[in-house]
Amino acid sequence: MTAIWYAGGRLDRAVRLRREPERLHAALTTPRTQIVPLWRDRCLVAADTVVRLGGVDSAWLPATVGDPVFLGIDGDRPLFAVDLSGVPEAEALRATGAERTVDLRRLVQHLDPAEAAVLAYARGLCYWHRHQRYCGTCGARTRSVEGGAARECAGCRQQLFPRINPAVIMLVEAPGTPARCLLARHAGADDDAFALLAGFVEVGESLEDAVRREAAEEAGIVVDQVRYVASQPWPFPAGLMVGFVARARGEATRVDGEELVETRWFSRADLRARRAARGRLGRPDSIDRLLLQTWLDAEQD
Ligand SMILES: [Zn+2]
């Protein structure tokens, strides 16, 4: 099966440890501890390796850095992340011995999947902390609690938890035979850049409702038999992609002209030809690749 990037991994999130501040503090400074530094959502890289720092020597931390965020236990290593976004890039590089900052999605194909999952988790959590410094209810400052798994408002004491924005991505099959699936070209995309339909879930919708609405809104198509396939964390910055296969009731489509400019039905032979010509199907690190590959592998015609 095609791997789902950013998911899985071997990290024990050690939920109980989050609620034991003294043990957690001790875990931060063991010889085995590692700290993943991030700067404005980017990884710090030295000699083509993502930098991890030792927990023992935390003197390198610039004074403006927020609380380290506990990620979990990796084997026997307590693992934390620290967000250096409050200092200029040059200072973040100097403090960590890194040579450059790089977006995780540009690195992912050179990483072990477990490492990519840890870095995605760290990135999503650091992003959330940076954007949740004030309470949305009373406006007071918030502070990190439970090792960074939550924040608490200093005014109304409300606890705030990391927000995840779910989105659906769907492979729509044509009714009847031969089997074909619907891909669409987004406004601004290259002439030949066809992708699966996708969109955010709205308040008051089930995931299946969102699949039906997005298919109707974007491509003017009615779908039923909406079937879940797999999901993918997508903390760029706070997404969860939920993948489906759905069956169209008819073949006629009508693009909205704003988000989508063209739709096209592709047979399995068409997709194989595209894969051969382009060297891949879908984004290398995204669940759309898995949905397309799963559909190709399920050949029945
Ligand atoms: Zn508050």
Clarify whether residues 127 and 49 are in a common domain. Answer: yes
Among left, alpha and beta (phi > 0; psi -120 to 50; other), residue 4 is: beta
Q: What is the pLDDT of residue 29?
A: 85
The amino acid at residue 169 is I
Provide the CATH number for the domain around residue 98. 3.90.79
- Is residue 260 situated within a structural domain? yes
- Is residue 185 situated within a structural domain? yes
Clarify whether residues 111 and 172 are in a common domain. Answer: no
Cα(140) to ligand 1 centroid in Å equals 5
CA pair distance 126, 68, nearest whole angstrom? 9
Q: How far apart are the first and last CA of the chain?
A: 21
Cα(45) to ligand 1 centroid in Å equals 37
Question: Per-block average pLDDT, block size 10, for the chain (301 residues)?
Answer: 84 95 90 94 96 75 78 95 94 93 94 95 96 97 96 97 97 95 91 91 98 96 96 97 98 89 95 89 90 89 52
Short-list 205, 286, 196, CA closest to 241 = 286
The amino acid at residue 9 is G
Clarify whether residues 20 and 127 are in a common domain. Answer: yes
- Is residue 143 situated within a structural domain? no
Cα(75) to ligand 1 centroid in Å equals 37
Q: What is the pLDDT of residue 127?
A: 97
Cα(141) to ligand 1 centroid in Å equals 8
Cα(201) to ligand 1 centroid in Å equals 27
Q: What is the pLDDT of residue 258?
A: 84
Q: What is the pLDDT of residue 67?
A: 84
pTM exceeds cut of 0.85: yes
Clarify whether residues 272 and 191 are in a common domain. Answer: yes
Cα(158) to ligand 1 centroid in Å equals 6
Q: 82, 109, 131: which is the final residue of a domain?
A: 131
Residue 194: give the domain boundaries. Answer: 165-297
Cα(147) to ligand 1 centroid in Å equals 20
Cα(19) to ligand 1 centroid in Å equals 21
- Mapping DSSP onto H, E and C, the string for the chain reads CCCCCCCCCCCECCHHHHCCHHHHHHHHCCCCCEEEEEECCEEEEECCEECCEECCCCCCCCCCCCCCEEEEEECCEEEEEEECCCCCHHHHHHHHCCCEEEEHHHHHHHCCHHHHHHHHHHHHHHHHHHCCCECCCCCCEEEEEHHHCEEEECCCCCEECCCCEEEEEEEEECCCCCCEEEEEEECCCCCCCEECEEEECCCCCCHHHHHHHHHHHHHCCCEEEEEEEEEEEECCCCEEEEEEEEEECCCCCCCCCCCEEEEEEEEHHHHHHHHHHHCCCCCCCCHHHHHHHHHHHCCCC
Cα(49) to ligand 1 centroid in Å equals 41
- Is residue 3 situated within a structural domain? no
Cα(161) to ligand 1 centroid in Å equals 13
Cα(152) to ligand 1 centroid in Å equals 8
- Is residue 281 situated within a structural domain? yes
Cα(84) to ligand 1 centroid in Å equals 26
Cα(118) to ligand 1 centroid in Å equals 30
Instruction: Please name the residue that has the structure tokens 């095609």.
Output: 2
- Is residue 150 situated within a structural domain? no
Cα(139) to ligand 1 centroid in Å equals 6
Clarify whether residues 119 and 231 are in a common domain. Answer: no
Cα(159) to ligand 1 centroid in Å equals 9
Cα(133) to ligand 1 centroid in Å equals 11
Tokens of 47: 């000699």
Cα(157) to ligand 1 centroid in Å equals 6
Cα-Cα-Cα-Cα torsion 144, 145, 150, 151, nearest 10 degrees, comes to -50
Cα(142) to ligand 1 centroid in Å equals 8
Short-list 4, 106, 87, 86, CA closest to 45 = 106
Provide the CATH number for the domain around residue 263. 3.90.79.10
- Is residue 289 situated within a structural domain? yes
CA dist list (Å): 197 to 16, 127, 223, 230, 264: 40, 27, 12, 15, 11
Q: What is the pLDDT of residue 188?
A: 87
Cα(131) to ligand 1 centroid in Å equals 15
| Contact (CB, 8 A) for 286 and 5 | yes
Cα(134) to ligand 1 centroid in Å equals 8
Paired with 77 in beta bridges are: 74
Clarify whether residues 124 and 169 are in a common domain. Answer: no
Q: 78, 113, 131: which is the final residue of a domain?
A: 131
Count of the separate structural domains present in the chain: 2
- Is residue 160 situated within a structural domain? no
CA pair distance 92, 86, nearest whole angstrom? 9
Instruction: Please name the residue that has the structure tokens 């409300």.
Output: 158
